[in-house]
Structure 1
């Protein structure tokens, strides 16, 4: 089973249908609207614009587990992302990424180590996981790693589906 088989709803209800991303590279990011790292939405959107036509998408996963920094309703989150950062990439329902109620998507992701070897619990908002076209987790990036950093861009380019 790959992450493409996990069931999760879209931000405004209904299935987010992760299966539609099978064969693409996906950067899964737990996001929040009231965090010091929230400006990363701009870099995430630029990645979306830069690589979307080559079989890539960012998938934002709102989470309110870190100091209540994503308190909004689905409508408020969607409006904030669109109006403030021009976000066009898909967003899922708000989920828990740690603890007993951790969403199954994150149960599949957290075993992957980042560059420092960290595995397990998500440390903060904007932790990033790159999923390859086959559904395997290929990279994990710490929350402070900027979306357009050399290492993230290189990993995305390496995982884009063949043309």
Structure 2
């Protein structure tokens, strides 16, 4: 029997690229777990991806998951674009390598054995958990603790 989990994510970056952070909130009934981390040099898109990755990697068993994000890059990338990227050996339509390929591959691995529904919400419109993630991600971006996020 699969557990039903809600995940809310957001990424933030100051002077993109620059210091950045992510936040994810996992909900299981009345329980919540928060993940947040800041990096000295990154991009907003990498932080959006990291929020989803860290949340999904924390799960110890197969789950039914609803992921809510304000990132069209994340939602469209994982629900539409990734299929074409895989078929084209991780090249975009312009024949250049997919940006953030390391994180897209890592995210793709985390999806295995879960039933996931992706929801996009417009940012900064009062969605309580999107606003909470935004505050946590911005705080993490202004208080980086991790030096090496890899290439940009």
TM-score by length of 2: 0.33
Higher radius of gyration, 1 or 2: 2
* Larger relative contact order (CA 8 Å, sep ≥ 6): 2
Q: Which has the higher strand share?
A: 2
Q: Which has the higher helix share?
A: 2
